[in-house]
């Protein structure tokens, strides 16, 4: 598999195959990111398509000060943010809610202790898939900015610095949003492990 940098060089040289490879690699991920901003999947698909148009038009101006992945996600986030504003689907960052107990996380934002041992009790892959779907629903139900940060950090694997670049937020804000989002998801999974029927906050 070609590295992003190789695809970038080929794309700048007008290689249509490189563009197709880039789309195959990132399109689903761009749609997923856009979906964390907008109301439905069709709109998210439109945002991803607009992102690719912006990439084609702006590739010569990309200076490489960030990774290609970060650049793509930043374009997508900006397009999705504008679309979301038009949909009147803007939510508060919810920074005034009670702080998450810091003892639940290490300095890097990971769990200080793992969730309850629900994984060890799973002896059926179908049940594991159900729990994975439950986690996805929990992410979908997060407040908007928490959902965006968790999607980029925990689903897409971006670093905290990259997330701050993509979303134009501070490191402190990113940490708060990530901790609160993860705490809500953990609570949902723990509730599921105890046999709850809903994933309340």
Supply the CATH number for residue 30's domain: 1.10.1740.10
**54 and 137 part of one domain:** no
Q: Is residue 114 scored above 80 in pLDDT?
A: no
Could you report the per-residue pLDDT of 26-84, keeping only the tens digit for each?
999 999 999 999 988 999 999 999 999 999 999 988 988 889 999 999 999 999 998 87
Residue 166, pLDDT score: 96
Residues 77 and 121 in one domain: no
Residue 96 predicted with pLDDT over 60: no
Q: 109 — phi, psi (to 5°)?
A: 95, 0
Domain count, the chain: 2
* pTM confidence score: 0.71
Taking residue 150's Cβ as centre, other Cβ atoms within 10 Å add up to: 23
Flag whether 124 is in a domain. yes
Q: Does residue 86 surpass a pLDDT of 60? A: no
Q: Are 106 and 131 contained in the same domain?
A: yes
Output 154-160 pairs: Cβ under 8 A, ≥24 positions apart: 154/182, 155/32, 156/29, 156/32, 156/33, 156/73, 158/69, 158/70, 158/73, 160/109
Task: Name the more confident of 184 and 120.
Answer: 184
Same domain, 106 and 74: no
Q: How confident is the model at residue 19 (pLDDT cuts 50, 70, 90)?
A: very high
Same domain, 140 and 170: yes
Domain-terminating residue out of 86, 113, 146: 86
Find the domain containing 51 and state its range.
4-86
51 & 12 share domain: yes
**In the prediction, which pLDDT does 85 show?**
63
Domain boundary residue, one of 41, 60, 86: 86
Residue 92 covered by a domain = no
- What CATH number has the domain bearing residue 133? 1.20.140.160
């Amino acid at each position: 598999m070609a590295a992003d940098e190789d695809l970038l060089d080929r794309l700048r040289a007008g290689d249509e195959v490189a563009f197709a490879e880039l789309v195959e690699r990132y399109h689903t991920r761009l749609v997923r990111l856009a979906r964390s901003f907008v109301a439905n999947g069709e709109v998210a698909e439109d945002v991803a398509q607009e992102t690719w148009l912006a990439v084609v038009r702006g590739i010569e101006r990309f200076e490489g000060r960030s990774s290609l992945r970060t650049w793509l996600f930043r374009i997508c986030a900006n397009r999705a943010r504008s679309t979301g504003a038009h949909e009147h689907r803007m939510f508060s960052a919810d920074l005034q809610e009670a702080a998450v107990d810091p003892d639940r996380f290490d300095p890097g934002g990971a769990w200080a202790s793992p969730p309850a041992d629900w994984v060890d009790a799973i002896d059926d892959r179908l049940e594991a898939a159900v729990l994975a779907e439950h986690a996805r629903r929990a992410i979908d139900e997060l407040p908007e900015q928490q959902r965006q940060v968790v999607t980029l950090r925990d689903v897409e694997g971006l670093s905290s610095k990259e997330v701050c670049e993509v979303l134009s937020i501070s490191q402190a804000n990113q940490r708060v949003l990530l901790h609160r989002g993860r705490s809500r998801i953990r609570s949902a999974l723990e509730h599921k492990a105890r046999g709850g029927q809903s994933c309340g906050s």
